[in-house]
Structure 1
Amino acid sequence: MSAHPHLSRRGLLGMIATVPLALTLGSGTAHAADSAYAMVYFTESTKLGDGTDYGLHLAVSPDGLDWTPLNQNNPLVTPTSGALGLRDPFLMRKQDGTFVVLATDLKGTDWSYNSQYIHVWDSADLRTFTGYRRLKLHDMATHSWAPEAFWDAGRRQYAVIYSSVNSSGHNVIMVNYTTDFVTASAPQVFFDPGYDVIDGDMAVGVNGYNYLYFKKNQTLVGARSTTLNPGSFTEFGTGVAHGGTEAPTVVKSLTSGTWWLWGDTYTPNGVFYAWRSTDLASGTWTALDQRTYTQPVNSKHCGVATITSAEYAGLLAKWGAPAWNRLKSYNHPSRYVRHAGYLGRIDEYPIEPYKDSLWTLVPGLADSSGVSFRSVNHPTRYLRHYDYGLRLDVDDSTPTFAADATFHRTAGLADAAWSSFRSHNYPTRYIRHADYALRIDPVSTTTDRQDATFRVGY
C-alpha cells in the first residue's frame, strides 16, 4: 500500500517465490514445475492523476526481475464492496494449486479510513477471478493493512497476517487463521517488538528457520523463529533502506541460491529497490544494480507468486503485452527516455506525466527494417533528430522527416543484451544522451557507448 508518511504497507514483490523442494514460503507450497512469476499490484502516479488506479493489475516475468504488464497495464478486476478500491494486493498459490488474492480495503490515500475487512478473490489460473468477497478480520476500530498469507503446516491452516493498531497503541503484525479465506479465527498478535511495525512478509521453512521481514522506522528489518507461533519471532541482522523504504518482500530465485529483498519508497515516489543475499541466516544484504530489474510503470506494493511456463504463456495469450515500450538508460538505470517540451531526454522514474516515457515502436518511416519512435500521448509526433538533437515533431510526410525519424536497432554498444539505435541518414551516429539530453553522435569512447545503450522494456 502506498505509505502514510510515517507508516507503510505491504510488500512490493510479495514475491515469495518457491523452489523445487518440499519447501513452503509465503506464496504456498512449492511446485516443482514453476519456472516464472506473476505479480499483482495497483498503480499510482506521483500526482494521483492519469496512471492511478486502485484495481487489481497483473504482470508476468520469466526471471522475477523484468516485468511485462498485462492488459495494457489496466486493471483486471476492481472491488465492488467496501471502499471500492484496493491497495497492497498479495498473490498466493494455495495447497490445492489454485490461487488466492488478498488486498487492503482502501481506495486512495484516506489513511483515516479504517476497515476491519480485506478483499479476497479466488482464481484457478489468473485468467479469471471469481468468488469476490470481503473477509472480516477483527472488531477493532482500526485498519487491516497489507494482508499476506502463508501455509502453517502444523495448524493445517493458512495464517493471514496484516498490520493493525492493537491495545499497545502502535502498529503490530496481527494474525488470523483460516482454511477457506471465507471465515477466520479470532485475531491474535503475531509480532509486537514494542515499537511501531508494519508490512509483514514471510519466508517459511528455510533451513530450519522462518523469517519475518517488516518496516521499522523507514527501514526494512528481519526477525526469525524456529516455529510459526505468534510471539516467537526475534529481530536479527542488519536493516536496509533507500531513503524512506517500506513494503519488504523476500524472494527466492527459481534458478539459483540467491534471495532478493525488495522494498518500495513512499508516495509519491513508488520506486522499487532490491538487495540480494545468498544466505538468509546471515541477515546481511547487498544492493542490487538497477540495471537488473524493471518494475511495471506506476506499480505500487505488489505481490508475486511463482507460475509454470504454461501459465506464463497462457497469461500472455489471454491479456497481451503492452502495445508500447519504455527505454531505460544503461549507465543511468534510474532514468528513462521521455519527451519534455517536445525535446528528447532521459529523466528519473517516476516520470510525470508518465505517458511522456511511453513509445510505440513502429517500422521505420524511411526503411521498414528500421524503427521509428511514435509518442503514445502525442501519436502524430515522432522522435527525430534536428541539428543532431532529438525532438518530438509532427510527421510532415517528407522524405527528410522520414529519414530523420528512422533508426536501426543493433546490439547494445555497451552490453549486447541491451540495444543501441543507429541513425538511418547519419549511419556513423547513434542515439545517446549528453547531460541527459538526447542527440545523435559518433560513438568512440567507453562513456559514449554506455550513453548510447538502452534496454527496451515496459
Structure 2
Amino acid sequence: MIFKRIVFVVLMLLGAFVHAQVHQKKEVYLFAYFKNNGEDGLHLAYSDDGFKWSALKNDSSFLTPMVSNDKLMRDPCIIRGADGLFHMVWTDSWKDKGIGYASSPDLVHWSGQQQLPVMEQQPGARNCWAPEITYDAVTRLYMIYWATSVDGLFPVTDSLAESKYNHRIYYITTKDFKTYTSAKMLFDPGFSSIDATIVPDGKRFVMVFKDETLHPVQKNIKIAYAKNLTGPYSKPQGPITGKYWAEGPTTLRIDNKWIVYFDKYTEHKYGAITSTDLKKWTDISDQINLPKGIRHGTIIKITPAELEKLKQ
C-alpha cells in the first residue's frame, strides 16, 4: 500500500513537472502589421491559437517610421535571426528605390532605422514594395526580397497590370545585415507578382504570393516551390483564394496545419484558409478575429516572457 502511494505521488509530481515544462515552452503567435497608410508605424497583436488576436498597447504604434521622404511603415516583416536579434524590413515609401530596416533584441527597443537602397542602381525602377526576410539555415544567409516594377522591362504584360505597375520579385542576401549582395531577380512567373512570403518546408521552400494581374483580373494568392531559397521557383500553382481580391499573405503552421492569412482589401476585412497538404484548402475566414483596421504584415512565434515584456 505504501509503495503504491509512493508511486502515485511520484507520477503526480512527474505529471506536474511535464505540464509546467510544456507551459513554460509554449509559444505565442505575434502579428506585426500596419494601419491606415502606415504613417504611424508598427502595430502588434498576439494570439494563443492563431484564431483570436488581441492588439497590444491599445493598438497604438511600437515604432514610428523615420526613413524616406514619405516616412511610412507598411508591410512590416519581422523574423527572429540566428544572432538572437529580431530583424525587420518594411515598405518605407510609395516611390523610393529602397526599403526600411531596423533590428531589436526584444521588439521594444529598436536600433536606428536605415533605408537599404536596394534598387538605386536599376534605371526605371518605380518602387520597392512589401519586403520580407527569410533565413536559410543551411547557407546561413538571410534573403531580403521585395516587389519592384521597372519601366519597360516586361512590355508584353504592361497593359495587363494596374497602372503599368508590372512587378517582379527581386532579392539581396546578407550574413550580418552590414554588407549586402547586389539585387537580382528572384521570381518572374510571366505576370505581375507581388507580396511574396517564403517559408522552409523540409527540403524545399514554399513561396506564397499575389498574382497582381488586372486584365483579365486575378488579384488572388498563388504558390510556387523551390529546392533552394534563391530559386529557381516552379511554375505557380493556384489560385488558392476565392473570387474576392486578396493580397499580403502571411503563413503560420500549427501542428500539421498550414494557415494562410490575407487582406481582403477591397472588402476592408481579413481572410484565412487552411490546409494540411498545400493543395486542398478550407476557408476559415469566419473563424478568425483580428484587430479592427488591420492591414497586412507577418506572423512570428515568441515566448510568453517576450509577450509579457510587450504587454508592459
TM-score, normalization by structure 1: 0.55
Query: How many residue pairs were aligned?
Result: 267
Aligned-pair distance for 1:245? 0.7
The reply on whether 1:86 has 2:70 as its aligned counterpart is no
Aligned to 2:183: 187
Distance 1:183 1:244, change over 3 A: same
Aligned to 2:221: 220
The reply on whether 1:36 has 2:28 as its aligned counterpart is yes
The reply on whether 1:168 has 2:154 as its aligned counterpart is yes
Deviation string, structure 1 residues 236-276 (Cα, Å, up to 9, x no partner)? 244213511111122111xx211101111225x43110000
The unaligned stretches of length 5 or more in structure 1 are: 1-31, 107-112, 319-458
Task: Quote the Cα distance in structure 2 between the aligned partners of 1:242 and 1:128.
Answer: 41
The correspondence of residues 371-410 of structure 1 with structure 2, limited to 5 A, is none
Choose between structure 1 and 2: higher helix proportion: 2
Aligned to 1:55: 41
What code does the residue aligned with 1:152 have? D
Indicate if the aligned counterparts of 1:211 and 1:222 stay in contact, CA closer than 8 A: yes
Deviation string, structure 1 residues 67-110 (Cα, Å, up to 9, x no partner)? 1211211112111120112211111111122201111012xxxx
Task: Quote the Cα distance in structure 2 between the aligned partners of 1:302 and 1:270.
Answer: 15
Aligned to 1:305: 300
2:284 corresponds to which of 283, 288, 303: 288
Distance 1:225 1:235, change over 3 A: same
Aligned to 1:259: 258
The reply on whether 1:240 has 2:227 as its aligned counterpart is no
Task: Quote the Cα distance in structure 1 between the aligned partners of 2:42 and 2:306.
Answer: 18
Deviation string, structure 1 residues 349-370 (Cα, Å, up to 9, x no partner)? xxxxxxxxxxxxxxxxxxxxxx
Aligned-pair distance for 1:234? 2.6
Task: Quote the Cα distance in structure 1 between the aligned partners of 2:47 and 2:56.
Answer: 11
1:199 corresponds to which of 188, 191, 195: 195
Aligned to 2:137: 153
Task: Quote the Cα distance in structure 2 between the aligned partners of 1:61 and 1:240.
Answer: 23
Deviation string, structure 1 residues 27-58 (Cα, Å, up to 9, x no partner)? xxxxx9461011211112xxx7xxx7541111
SS in 1 for 2:107: coil
SS in 2 for 1:77: coil
Aligned-pair distance for 1:304? 1.5
Aligned-pair distance for 1:119? 1.1
Indicate if the aligned counterparts of 1:264 and 1:271 stay in contact, CA closer than 8 A: yes
Task: Quote the Cα distance in structure 1 between the aligned partners of 2:291 and 2:87.
Answer: 21
Q: Which moved more, 1:179-188 or 1:82-91?
A: 179-188
Distance 1:181 1:115, change over 3 A: farther
SS in 2 for 1:311: helix
Aligned-pair distance for 1:179? 2.0
Task: Quote the Cα distance in structure 1 between the aligned partners of 2:32 and 2:97.
Answer: 22
Task: Quote the Cα distance in structure 1 between the aligned partners of 2:129 and 2:28.
Answer: 28
Aligned-pair distance for 1:230? 3.2
Structure 1's consecutive aligned runs of 4 or more residues displaced over 6 angstroms after TM superposition are none
Deviation string, structure 1 residues 331-357 (Cα, Å, up to 9, x no partner)? xxxxxxxxxxxxxxxxxxxxxxxxxxx
Indicate if the aligned counterparts of 2:208 and 2:222 stay in contact, CA closer than 8 A: yes
Task: Quote the Cα distance in structure 1 between the aligned partners of 2:181 and 2:232.
Answer: 17
SS in 1 for 2:144: strand
Indicate if the aligned counterparts of 2:77 and 2:132 stay in contact, CA closer than 8 A: yes
The correspondence of residues 84-123 of structure 1 with structure 2, limited to 5 A, is 84-106=71-93, 113-123=94-104
Aligned-pair distance for 1:314? 2.2
Percent of aligned pairs sharing the same letter: 28
What code does the residue aligned with 2:277 have? D
Aligned to 1:271: 269
Indicate if the aligned counterparts of 1:119 and 1:134 stay in contact, CA closer than 8 A: yes
Indicate if the aligned counterparts of 2:250 and 2:299 stay in contact, CA closer than 8 A: no
Aligned to 2:11: none
Choose between structure 1 and 2: higher strand proportion: 1
What code does the residue aligned with 2:232 have? G
Task: Quote the Cα distance in structure 2 between the aligned partners of 1:99 and 1:242.
Answer: 36
Indicate if the aligned counterparts of 2:270 and 2:285 stay in contact, CA closer than 8 A: no
Indicate if the aligned counterparts of 1:120 and 1:181 stay in contact, CA closer than 8 A: no
Indicate if the aligned counterparts of 1:54 and 1:87 stay in contact, CA closer than 8 A: no
Aligned-pair distance for 1:160? 0.6
Task: Quote the Cα distance in structure 1 between the aligned partners of 2:221 and 2:233.
Answer: 19
The correspondence of residues 323-334 of structure 1 with structure 2, limited to 5 A, is none
Deviation string, structure 1 residues 109-142 (Cα, Å, up to 9, x no partner)? xxxx421111112111112222321112112332
Q: Which has the larger radius of gyration?
A: 1
Task: Quote the Cα distance in structure 2 between the aligned partners of 1:229 and 1:89.
Answer: 21
Task: Quote the Cα distance in structure 1 between the aligned partners of 2:285 and 2:34.
Answer: 24
Deviation string, structure 1 residues 182-219 (Cα, Å, up to 9, x no partner)? 44211111110111111101121x13321101111211
The unaligned stretches of length 5 or more in structure 2 are: 1-23, 156-165, 212-217
Task: Quote the Cα distance in structure 2 between the aligned partners of 1:278 and 1:96.
Answer: 31
